[in-house]
Amino acid sequence: MKITLRDVLDVPYEEALKAIVEFTKSFVESTGASKVVLGLSGGLDSSTLLVLLLRALPRSRVVALIMPDTRATPKEDVEDAVSLAKSHGVEHYLIYIDDIVNSYAKAPFIDIKEDLATGNLRARIRMNLLYYYANKYNAIVAGSSDRSELLIGYYTKYGDGAADFYPIGCLYKTQVRELARRLGLPENIVSKPSAPRLYKDHTAFQELGLTYEEVDLALYALFDLKLSIEEAVEATGLPRSTIERVLQLHRKSRHKRATLPVAPLPWLPQPVYEI
């Protein structure tokens, strides 16, 4: 058996779109929320999420927060985010977070540099703003993580990894890109390389050392087809090191997807929090 990226992309997009829209409508109504708020970066995932939310809800119930830091966020990303929100008539707020990030330097152990720690701080500041808005205006937070990011843990814990629901969490990154194209998003957004922009010049390829075409093909082989490492190497033609790297990313990020560990008591070895 041989598989390629074409197999990953070969999904019924109209059915996927319908399922995502119906899920979003049902979930939002079940919460009693008046609005849905999302962080809009101008990148592929959040832009696609905005358009999908507008397929499910009236525009009056969708709010976008655009939260750049001038040291890390390219000007064109801000322009793309603002343009997309305006073109869809969505309530949106442009909030530069430079000063908020700088204010954390008052803590003696914080040194604001262009590194991963500061990048994660930016992601958590953005989530604070999203949840403040949600708390104040009876809204819920829509997360823009896709299935690729969720499976390999490529998001900031309690940052962009904090959300009330993930409408596109069912689609691999390459599938999101194809869906965005079918939804008619601007080509400059559809073709934009994946780049979290947590710090200056930060891109997914630079950090992961893998393209999402490689990641998605490996994930498809391992999780959809449930192949062993040896079978995945044979089927995809990817180097064994790539398959092992993707599997390692998944395993090392388990803590991001798991319920937080709680110390057991002798008479209550397995605490239950869901009734």
Number of domains in the chain: 1
Residues whose CB is less than 8 angstroms from the CB of residue 223 and which lie 6 or more positions away in sequence, other chains included: 151
Predicted pLDDT at 263: 72
Residue 180 counted as domain residue:
yes
Q: Which residues neighbour 162 within 8 Å (Cβ) at sequence distance 6 or greater?
A: 127, 131, 141, 143
Cα separations in angstroms, 51 against 37, 88, 135, 231, 264: 13, 8, 23, 38, 44
Domain with 85 in it: 10-198
Q: Which residues contact 200 (CB under 8 A, 6 or more apart)?
A: 71, 72, 114
* Ranges of the chain whose pLDDT falls below 50: 275
pLDDT at 275: 41
CB atoms within 10 A of CB 63: 23
Is the residue at 1 inside a domain? no
Assess if residue 251 is contained within a domain. Answer: no
Q: Is 274 inside a domain boundary?
A: no
Using only C-alpha atoms, what is the Rg of the chain? 19
Sheet of strand 139-141, all strands in order from the earlier edge strand to the far edge: 91-94, 62-66, 35-39, 139-141
The domain spanning residue 20 has which CATH number?
3.40.50.620
